[in-house]
A and B are shown apart, each in its own frame.
Chain A
């Protein structure tokens, strides 16, 4: 490495809220835009906390919290244009927010009343994928489709550090690279694949894996919403312009449990959590707004009040979601008429008829 090689981690806003320069990436944001990023971060954290509480109330079967990863998701999500298509894991609540998916629709899957409550085509946001890493293949296929249709958009696919060890993910790298597909691989390295630390996933920083497949990789401070926005924006632009895939490793930390079923105190020590608390993605934006007098107390209070309202609304609408009828299981199995399924539907309806109401 030469002396003036760029630092390994792209950062534009320090944990203390200081703006810093980076030789390859920069961003020019109006005060309005910064305030709006802050608002998104706060609201998304609130949605997440509500969902965790709803699970503890017995209203959701399970929930995967994004706590600590808000900046990675809002930063990358806000970099998307209407033409771009996003493929999430089951933790991308922040990206869903950026794609205008009503938060209550995220809860249906976890409440067990539907299989994903939104229309992917309407939001350009695919349904949550539970199987680890398999969405990377879907996304590369989609990107190759855009390529063949001569479309304008790019594709972004989300996955975690754990998924980086999956065969699907590595195969998708190969395909994307060889076909120069317009795709951005956005890996949120939150340091823990459930209880498996990153040291047991990789001997080298994850972003450097891209080199072996033949496309660029970059590591960004995943708790820095400015840097995540700038780096993703650039990578998507490169994809749209025919320069092929990019791997972005957003270096962040899963502050909560893997899911509400997990107990992280069994495998990681509190001091690690304390160290990451100092790098909180929301606090640094707040500090930046404050220091530069881009927002006053009134603004912060208003955002908090909005979060409060959003939370209460989410609680109410979650429990009001109707249970599906037994017949709903026949919907969406095939896209067109299907004789055998019709027979089964009729027979089952008859069976249900056989009960007193």
Chain B
């Protein structure tokens, strides 16, 4: 028997979730409680356990896809007797890609099964209500279907004189006179015809004659005015063909006539990517930092020939046998050493006070498949060099595999961003919110350099330090940067100063 697992509301009142990773594939045997998919909601990443024993028949959503609560995401053949196995979904034999196309685009989920009527449901956007938050339960029930029609003949019981003043006298109950036509509101667009059959109302069915009877909520009307859009020219996709904000925006952005539609066809000229997840967080953090902390960035070119030599020698030592030693390790060590000499660099501005931290949670900016994240090494200042190397490796590995937990990104005090790996000399980094400075470590390249009055070929890099000018003055920032540079020029200084 084929059973379908519908995406549950795993938080309170969530309406959708993103499929992060499938842990099973079609044909796999699954057992009760086996975790089969990871989903990400607005609140957390959660692995879902399987409620049945059986064999995976079909994955009904793609990784990366956002699915509404209540939509089936996986089909399991449970092997139980098929007696009661009603054809659970008429469209079950549709190719997965088609099914997914139908689900995508933020559409109202088709109520699965139950005599499913679905011809044509694919193409046109179904009537969609604005999402509403609910406190608990199984998410928002989407508007269409479900409601039982009122009996036509029954005199409305509310008319009985004894009844207490019903708190919600509203529309349907009172007008005993409104006779047959089920659910037809007085002057609503006469599109209700289809409602009796429980089907969905045709969205575009606003009678064109009724120029004044455009359906739109007051805020939408206001927006139309602001945008200079004539509502009567807009096709509504909301309930009963009403016009939504999105319709307006689309209308105001679309060129009045389809522009020279010559090379349109195969290649879309633009692509729209929803802003969410890590991208959204990054954007918020960047804006918060850039527009609250006055940034100053200073640059320093450094001859790191000695540092590169030191890296080579460290690699050969038994203590570093199992870890990757990179120049970043020595940059980190130099930063930790300098931060002890200038604690104010490693501090936070709270508005009323400056919190100077006598510990360093050293953040390392990491480019991951899911975007930029900054996990940090807790209490990096207490670690020995091999320990620090291990922590750096581990942090990078965890980040790359996308398993960095939010707690590992919280509480950072200073950040290093290794822009050299992208092959650029330097940049003007933006401070990680809650911190006061960030160091960019650029590409190490061979350059002509003057040593003892002679021109020589040396390994040179550029350091850039951005700091929050509210609490760090130019002098302090310069001293810190100069010291980090000095230590990389001559790594022995790290010993001298630590």
Contacts A265-B406, A353-B157, A356-B151 known; 7 new A-B pairs at CB < 8 A = A56-B48, A58-B7, A61-B12, A262-B44, A266-B44, A350-B163, A354-B157
From residue A213, how far is it (CB to closest CB) to chain B in Å? 35
Contact between B407 and A267, CB atoms less than 8 A apart:
yes
Chain A residues lying within 8 Å of B150, measured Cβ to Cβ, are 354-356
Q: Does B371 interact with chain A (Cβ within 8 Å)?
A: no
Instruction: List, sorted by A's number, 5 A–B pairs whose CB atoms are closer than 8 Å.
Output: A112-B136, A265-B407, A266-B44, A267-B410, A270-B407
From residue A201, how far is it (CB to closest CB) to chain B in Å? 20
Size of chain A's interface in residues, with CB distance under 8 A?
33
Chain B residues lying within 8 Å of A315, measured Cβ to Cβ, are 32, 51
Q: Does B115 interact with chain A (Cβ within 8 Å)?
A: no
Size of chain B's interface in residues, with CB distance under 8 A?
40
Contact between A53 and B33, CB atoms less than 8 A apart:
yes
Contact between A340 and B164, CB atoms less than 8 A apart:
yes
Beta-carbon contacts of B41-61 to A below 8 Å, as 1s and 0s?
001111011010000000000
Beta-carbon contacts of A247-272 to B below 8 Å, as 1s and 0s?
00000000000001111011111100
Chain A residues lying within 8 Å of B378, measured Cβ to Cβ, are 269
From residue B398, how far is it (CB to closest CB) to chain A in Å? 11
Complex: chain A residue closest to B405, CB-CB: A265
Segment 1-57 of B: residues with Cβ below 8 Å from A? 5-12, 32-33, 43-46, 48-49, 51
Contact between A55 and B156, CB atoms less than 8 A apart:
no
Beta-carbon contacts of A102-133 to B below 8 Å, as 1s and 0s?
00000000001000000000000000000000
Instruction: Name the prevailing secondary structure of the B interface residues.
Output: loop
Q: Roughly how many angstroms separate A186 CA and B484 CA in the complex, as a whole number?
A: 55
Q: Does A334 interact with chain B (Cβ within 8 Å)?
A: no
From residue A154, how far is it (CB to closest CB) to chain B in Å? 35
Contact between A347 and B166, CB atoms less than 8 A apart:
yes
From residue B183, how far is it (CB to closest CB) to chain A in Å? 12
Q: Roughly how many angstroms separate A167 CA and B431 CA in the complex, as a whole number?
A: 42
From residue A47, how far is it (CB to closest CB) to chain B in Å? 14
From residue B154, how far is it (CB to closest CB) to chain A in Å? 5
From residue A19, how far is it (CB to closest CB) to chain B in Å? 35
Contact between B158 and A347, CB atoms less than 8 A apart:
yes
Nearest 5 interchain pairs by C-beta: A58-B8, A263-B44, A350-B157, A266-B406, A265-B405
Contact between B405 and A347, CB atoms less than 8 A apart:
no
Q: Does B349 interact with chain A (Cβ within 8 Å)?
A: no
Contact between B149 and A356, CB atoms less than 8 A apart:
yes
Segment 303-357 of A: residues with Cβ below 8 Å from B? 312, 315, 340, 343-344, 346-347, 350-351, 353-357
From residue A58, how far is it (CB to closest CB) to chain B in Å? 3
- Of the candidates B45, B51, B148, B151, the one whose C-beta lies within 8 Å of that of A57 is B51
Q: Does B350 interact with chain A (Cβ within 8 Å)?
A: no
Q: Does A101 interact with chain B (Cβ within 8 Å)?
A: no
Q: Does A227 interact with chain B (Cβ within 8 Å)?
A: no
From residue A253, how far is it (CB to closest CB) to chain B in Å? 16
Q: Does B320 interact with chain A (Cβ within 8 Å)?
A: no
Contact between A347 and B163, CB atoms less than 8 A apart:
yes
Contact between A62 and B158, CB atoms less than 8 A apart:
no
Q: Does B137 interact with chain A (Cβ within 8 Å)?
A: yes
- Interface on B for A, CB 8 Å cutoff? 5-12, 32-33, 43-46, 48-49, 51, 136-138, 148-151, 154, 156-158, 160, 162-164, 166, 173, 378, 405-408, 410
Chain A residues lying within 8 Å of B6, measured Cβ to Cβ, are 58
Complex: chain B residue closest to A355, CB-CB: B148
Contact between B156 and A354, CB atoms less than 8 A apart:
yes
From residue B39, how far is it (CB to closest CB) to chain A in Å? 10
From residue A306, how far is it (CB to closest CB) to chain B in Å? 17
Contact between A355 and B151, CB atoms less than 8 A apart:
yes
Q: Roughly how many angstroms separate A311 CA and B150 CA in the complex, as a whole number?
A: 43
Contact between A55 and B157, CB atoms less than 8 A apart:
no
Chain B residues lying within 8 Å of A55, measured Cβ to Cβ, are 8, 10
Complex: chain A residue closest to B5, CB-CB: A57
Chain A residues lying within 8 Å of B148, measured Cβ to Cβ, are 355-357
Complex: chain A residue closest to B182, CB-CB: A356
Chain A residues lying within 8 Å of B149, measured Cβ to Cβ, are 355-356
Beta-carbon contacts of A264-304 to B below 8 Å, as 1s and 0s?
01111110000000000000000000000000000000000
Contact between A343 and B162, CB atoms less than 8 A apart:
yes
Contact between B10 and A351, CB atoms less than 8 A apart:
no
Most buried by A among B150, B378, B405: B405
Contact between B160 and A268, CB atoms less than 8 A apart:
no
Q: Roughly how many angstroms separate A340 CA and B410 CA in the complex, as a whole number?
A: 56
Contact between A353 and B154, CB atoms less than 8 A apart:
yes
Complex: chain B residue closest to A265, CB-CB: B405
Q: Roughly how many angstroms separate A340 CA and B167 CA in the complex, as a whole number?
A: 13
Report if A56-B164 is in contact (Cβ < 8 Å); known contacts: A269-B407, A347-B158: no
Q: Roughly how many angstroms separate A27 CA and B334 CA in the complex, as a whole number?
A: 58
Chain B residues lying within 8 Å of A343, measured Cβ to Cβ, are 162-164
- Of the candidates B45, B46, B48, B164, the one whose C-beta lies within 8 Å of that of A347 is B164
Q: Roughly how many angstroms separate A351 CA and B172 CA in the complex, as a whole number?
A: 11
Q: Roughly how many angstroms separate A262 CA and B156 CA in the complex, as a whole number?
A: 46
